Amino acid sequence: MFLQAIIAGTVLFLIIQYIRERNTLKKIAKHFGGPKPLPLIGNLLEFNKDVPEIFETGIRLLKLHGPDTFFWGLFNRYMLVVSSPKNVEKVLMAKQAQKSLLYTFLESWLRTGLLLSSGEKWFQRRRIITPAFHFKILEQFVAVFNKEADVMVTNLRKHVGGKEFDIYSYVTLMALDSICETSMGTSVNAQNDPDNDYVKNVKSMSVLFLRRIFDPLAGYPVLYELVHPRAYKTRKIVRELHKFTDSVIAERRKQLQESGEEGKRLTKSDENLYSKQKMTFLDLLLNVNVDGMPLDDLEIREEVDTFMFEGHDTTTSGISFTIYELARHQQAQDRIYDEIVAILGKNNREADLTYQVLQEFKYLEMAIKEALRLYPSVPFIGRHLLEDTELDGITLPSGMEVLVSIYMIHRNPEVFPDPERYDPERFSEDAESKRGPYDYIPFSAGARNCIGQRFAMLEMKVALIKLISNYRVLPGESLGKLRVKTDLVIRPHMGVPVTLVERD
């Protein structure tokens, strides 16, 4: 009887706690609005759809109930999606907040590298990784971008004058080759070997991540890992990804030892850090000291894997959606070509694009920025509040999950009139000066903004200059049917169908 009393008391306590939490959530939900949640399962049924419909449903609900909307998950799991500038600023600038718990679904792969770490470890890693994006290092990366973009242009030549084809797949492989060489100093030769295991595994992880977010067991990681069939598949893929990265690290460490370079630890003040030839992200990590000690192989792997993850699909998305808009807006494409001729001359196909030359492409940058406005590579970013936070007069409790909808922020008609229209002139110096710091945030904002945004912009510029120098890109017949989906990044559901014409 005593045991029964304990069990009954525990159950009663849990029920009372559940009701209290639910009443708090009802108050918050009533203030912000959103679809009415069902008991226990919340709004999960709203998202029990295929991948593109999940994204479309979320955007539809935000437009209907926004700009800030409350979603409920299983039991008392909850999330507030914000897109009003004042609330976005409070969330992104909060001193007591960390990346959303959703990001922990990537921990088995990325561990606690720069994307997932917090506190002192994050500050330490940000400080030591920042030199990898010094302009002297980026100058070396531009040479890689040139080489891989040239391969893509060559591979595309078979489509000149032919039927429509999906250019997204070509951009994906080009970006993957670029990130592998700049981060690890190795080539997976993805452009000529698209069935490469590493290529397929990275793609699979993106889909598994999205599926887990909307799985009923998402909030119960131990149970998910024990019983879910996708958990087994994830573990298998992660082992293969780690095996590849470990082999590259071991090989590069061996090369440095044989050359006598490994012992020459670099510090931020060491000029060699910026002048060393063919420096890669991995080289930086292998040669840096933290509190007098080098990073071990696991610490290096988590940062290399993070760089691979963050720098591959994101640039693919940015390049591909810019191509999509330029195919639809030939006048903008013509202006970019005129800019190419003005800067590089008429014989521009074989031009070697340097870091300095790329700074001159002002209209191209405007065109890219406008594509990133309409299709930000990462359309949502999440934060986990570590203290009570006030938004619109309502106090959100510590532990609350907040999702910042960059996609909707960029479609604010008060900031961007006729927001669905593509217009690079929105990013002229005069137009940009009139906007607030949280009206346009394709690379996030605040302390945890994207450390690689200059890297991404350089790669996007090189790829687009090489493409437009060689071909006029025309819309395919099915281009108008494009649907958008998101897993780790925003992407076209069935690719970007275009046709190509050789330029004279």
Residue 498 domain flag = yes
Long-range contact pairs involving 226-234 (C-beta distance under 8 Å, separation at least 24) = 233/204, 233/208, 234/108, 234/205, 234/208
Where in the sequence is the domain holding 266, given as residue range(s)?
Answer: 80-379+409-502
Overall domain count for the chain: 1
CA 59 from chain centre, in angstroms, equals 18
Residue-wise pLDDT tens digits, 260-310: 665 554 444 444 444 445 678 888 888 887 777 888 889 999 999 988 888
pLDDT of residue 137: 83
pLDDT of residue 259: 73
pLDDT of residue 269: 44
Residue 96 domain flag = yes
β-bridge mates for residue 42, sequence order:
38
Residue 385 domain flag = no
Determine whether 75 is exposed, middle or buried from the number of CB atoms within 10 Å of its CB (0-12, 13-18, 19+): middle
The type of residue at 479 is L
Tell me the DSSP string of 188-244.
Answer: --TTT-TT-HHHHHHHHHHHHHHHHHTSTTTT-HHHHHHH-HHHHHHHHHHHHHHHH
Would the CA dihedral through 340, 329, 485, 494 be positive or negative? negative
User: Virtual CA dihedral for 336, 337, 341, 346, nearest 10 degrees?
Assistant: 170
Ordered mean pLDDT values, 10 residues apiece, the chain (504 residues)? 76 80 83 84 80 85 88 80 92 81 85 86 85 82 94 96 95 92 84 82 82 78 87 93 90 80 49 55 83 84 88 91 97 97 85 91 98 96 89 88 94 96 96 93 88 94 97 93 85 93 90
Closest by alpha carbon to 84, among 412, 387, 419, 402? 412
Closest by alpha carbon to 178, among 252, 280, 33, 331? 280
Structure tokens at 391: 């938004």
Structure tokens at 216: 């009923």
Could you give the 3-state DSSP secondary structure of residue 330? helix
The type of residue at 89 is E
Structure tokens at 258: 């044989």
pLDDT of residue 278: 64
First to last CA, the chain: 91
Residue 299 domain flag = yes
Q: Are strands 78-82 and 401-405 parallel, antiparallel or unpaired?
A: parallel
CA 150 from chain centre, in angstroms, equals 24
Residue-wise pLDDT tens digits, 306-361: 888 888 889 999 999 999 999 999 999 999 999 999 999 888 777 789 999 999 99
Residue 24 domain flag = no
Residue 16 domain flag = no
pLDDT of residue 274: 44
Residue 390 domain flag = no
Q: Which residue has the tokens 């302009």?
A: 135
Residue 3 domain flag = no
Domain of 245: which CATH number? Answer: 1.10.630.10
pTM: 0.90
Tell me the DSSP string of 93-111.
Answer: T-SSEEE-GGGGGGHHHHT
